[in-house]
Structure 1
Amino acid sequence: MIVGRGGVVPDVSAAVEAGPERSAYLEAVFTVGEWLGVRSDDPLVPVVVVEVGVVSSLRAPSGRIVVDTPWPEDRAARELVERIPAGTYEVEASWIEAPYEFMGEHFDGRECAAVRLRVRDEPVSAWEMALGADDEVERLVPGCEVGFETDTAMGSFADAASWQALTEPFKRFWEKCEQQPGVVHGRETESVRSGEFEKVADDAAQADLITFPAEEGTTTVWIGRTAGGQVATVAVAPHLSWMA
């Protein structure tokens, strides 16, 4: 049984369990040297994991986690049903390279392919789709994926109890852009890894938010569990659209 905001809901373990192909991809994308596939426009060019490293730490004093876009939305943030122990955790990212040529110039095709919140330093025994507290889980069937929606190509990990305070810099930025279109505005966030990620700290609550690149549309979040069933990691690893 799973407990969400609406109370106890039916067992949906079969619907959320990751299949063999997805499980293998979630393992491979965080392993340096692994081949994830090939470029769809050039099947002779492999997509290879070249780096897996720590982006930053994230404080989650409530043990409640949001994985969602930090931009203003007319809906509640997607808080995960799963709880983790209150604490400070590392956010790691995986980078791939898939070289290509464009208009006579050569590029390494480097980009962030996946991110994860490391909860326990233990091997993942099984992967499952992370449910949101407001998901209509009774409608889930095997093969159906749910997740957070974004049209800004940005997601984030954050402490749910401090979500409003942590997303204020994005709301203020949005308001400035609407009030003064065409003017370049800065964001009150900390730039991480040359701006590839952003961090917001709520020092009063000792809580953080960390953004990461995401695909537009629906992005599924995955939970990796230890052999004992505990949460080892919370991961986001969309299949890159240009990769076969």
Structure 2
Amino acid sequence: MAVSPPDFAQILAPGTVHPVFEDGTTLRVRELPGVPLSLPSGRLIAMEPFSAGMGDAEELAFTDTVAPGTYPVVLSLVDVYEPDGSFTGDSRVAAARLVVSEEPVERWELALSAGQDLGDLEDDEFYGYPVDGGTGSFMDVETFHSIGDQDFGDRVLSAMFPGADEEPAGEPPEPADDPVTLPVGEDEHAVVAFSTGWGDGAYATWTGRAADGSIACFLTDFSTMDEDSDEDEDEDSEDGEPVAEAQQSHATASA
């Protein structure tokens, strides 16, 4: 049986303060305004965008579908505060949510792709996508196909770090503000990309269902409230990637 979903309504409520760290450092939640994402087929893919256009989109897309259209992507951020209450200047994306309707979520289910079965998972396992470049995204299956042979990874990198080519040697580039929207062809809202919590890892996407069973949202959780996440990643994989069993761009991982 898969890992149980967190109580997202509680932990991601704007204004919530999480005393996650033993030294008294806290995380304070805030929410960004939504940005539009085009879903011309209504079939969603959540993935690290550097490899978009490569592989089999049919294996990456979630089996849960929505009506074709344009939907807002809303990011929940956590701001990091010192024990004395001063803001450190560090903010992280805690979750990315594709809002399908304004109906409240009554239950959460792991979003599954073709061939994935909850019965194959242990109690502490989940399906998610691996990240080794600190970036996640949402896109439609048709967008994935449209990317084709374009060098999309370079486009993503330039969008996420717009001044990288102008920085002096040895200076880390300044990242763009989350989220970043990338056009593909004539679609100006084809891909929405964002940084992933504390960085690399394997991250689950959940389907939020309303009381009538309809899909209210998809939400990717970046595990920012888990202080031990970096340590766990090192223990789970010799190469630093907490992926037990890779399946294209998605993976089975332990919580």
Fold shared, TM-score > 0.5 on shorter chain: yes
SS at match of 1:221: strand
> 195, 209, 221: which one pairs with 2:205?
221
| CA shift for structure 1 position 89 | 0.5
Structure 1 window deviating more from structure 2 (194-203 vs 77-86): it is 194-203
> 42, 46, 65: which one pairs with 1:67?
46
Verify the 8 A CA contact 1:29 1:114 in the aligned structure 2.
no
What CA RMSD, in Å, does the superposition of the two structures yield over aligned residues? 3.2
Structure 1 partner of 2:26: 46
1:85–1:151 distance in 2 versus 1, CA, 3 Å: same
Unaligned residue ranges in structure 1 (runs of 5+): 1-14, 177-182, 186-192
Provide the rounded CA distance (Å) in 1 between the counterparts of 2:105 and 2:87: 37
Provide the rounded CA distance (Å) in 2 between the counterparts of 1:123 and 1:93: 17
Verify the 8 A CA contact 1:36 1:46 in the aligned structure 2.
yes
Structure 1 partner of 2:246: none
Deviations 1:159-178 (A, max 9, x none): 111213347352455999xx
TM value normalised by structure 2: 0.69
Structure 2 partner of 1:135: 116
Is 1:116–2:97 an aligned residue pair? yes
Is 1:76–2:76 an aligned residue pair? no
Structure 2 partner of 1:211: 193
Task: Give the counterpart letter for 2:20 in structure 1.
Answer: V
Provide the rounded CA distance (Å) in 2 between the counterparts of 1:174 and 1:108: 24
Provide the rounded CA distance (Å) in 1 between the counterparts of 2:137 and 2:213: 25
| Pairs aligned (count) | 207
Identity across matched positions, percent: 22
> 16, 25, 34: which one pairs with 1:34?
16
> 78, 81, 84: which one pairs with 1:96?
78
1:90–1:174 distance in 2 versus 1, CA, 3 Å: closer
